Amino acid sequence: MPNEDYIYFGDLKNSPYGEKTKAQLVEFAEDIFDFFMEKDIKAVVMACNTTSAIAYESIKDKYDVKIYPIVQSCANVLSLLEIKNLGVFATPVTIESHIYKKEIQKYNKDMEVFEIACPEWVKIVESGEEHYDSTKDIVKKYLDLMMKNNPDKIVLGCTHYPYLRSVLSDILGEDIFIDPSIIFSNYIKYDLEKSSMLNMQENVGCEEFYVSANPLEFKNAAKMFYNLKEQPKIAELLRV
């Protein structure tokens, strides 16, 4: 969707989210949404699995904009997979909520969903330790645990986890893993088109990046997925 204007917010001051309480996550989400409302946005993408799992239900009716939570948006598509067993790797908070299992089985009660938390994986990616020998041992430990359930596919249910895909694929192969961000982005485009909200005017899209702390750290870390042209601004509207 190159013609859309994008405003990205990264909450570096409060990350990692996978270890926070529900009350904290709801407060963080409300602060970020309030910041977005000042920017006159038409939709908010909740790209964080943990926030979608824990905070979405508490805030969804407080804001008069389209909200796209990643887990709930992808669940219907995942439920249509012609498989019997689906594995999910995610952060401890996401797994404790059982959000993937609950949402998928709303649409497909016959699909078995096996959820396993991988608490070390976010720190491995953020530290740039994907290719360490110790990392392969840690990843294999969780893969061995998951494979006891005989999954047909495995969802990488955290924004960080796809950056471990080369390690995961070396152990188990490429085809078994699902990056939900692909499903998610296609769903958002489809829904905006259906709602006549997609910007069809060409070559007008722009982007702004904000963080709650450490803008230089964010710019350097972001190189793994996007080359920022400028250093992000610090957002001062958040209660952080």
Q: Give the residue extent of every domain in the chain.
A: 6-69+184-234, 72-182
pTM for the whole thing? 0.89
Q: How confident is the model at residue 56 (pLDDT cuts 50, 70, 90)?
A: very high
* Preceding peptide of 215 cis, ω within 30°: no
Place of tokens 């330790």: 129
Distances (CA, A) of 74 to 7, 97, 100, 138, 183: 22, 16, 9, 27, 6
What does the pLDDT average to over 64-71?
96
Long-range pairs for 145-149 at CB < 8 Å and ≥24 separation?
A: 145/116, 146/87, 146/89, 146/114, 146/116, 147/172, 149/85, 149/87, 149/112, 149/114
pLDDT category of residue 179 using cuts at 50, 70 and 90 = very high
Residue with tokens 């601004």: 233
The answer to whether the CB of 67 falls within 8 A of the CB of 44 is yes
For residue 45, the cross-strand partners are 68
The CA distance from 185 to 233, in Å, is 25
Residue 202 has a pLDDT of 82
Q: What CATH number belongs to 6-69+184-234?
A: 3.40.50.1860
What distance in Å separates the CA atoms of residue 63 and residue 37, rounded to the nearest whole number?
A: 8
CATH number of 72-182: 3.40.50.1860
Q: Shortest CA distance to 10 belongs to which of 207, 185, 210, 208?
A: 210
pLDDT of 240 above 60: no
Equal fold, 6-69+184-234 vs 72-182: yes
pLDDT of 225 above 90: no
**Mean pLDDT, rounded, of the chain:** 93
Please identify every residue annotated as catalytic. 48, 158
Query: What pLDDT does residue 237 have?
Result: 60
Locate the DSSP E strands across 50-185.
Answer: 66-69, 85-90, 112-117, 153-156, 177-178
Return the exposure string of 179-211: e unless at least 16 CB atoms fall within 10 Å of the residue's CB, then b: ebeebbbebbeeebeeeeeeeeeeeeeeeebbb
pLDDT range class, residue 126, cuts 50, 70, 90 = confident
Q: Strands 153-156 and 43-46, how do they pair?
A: unpaired
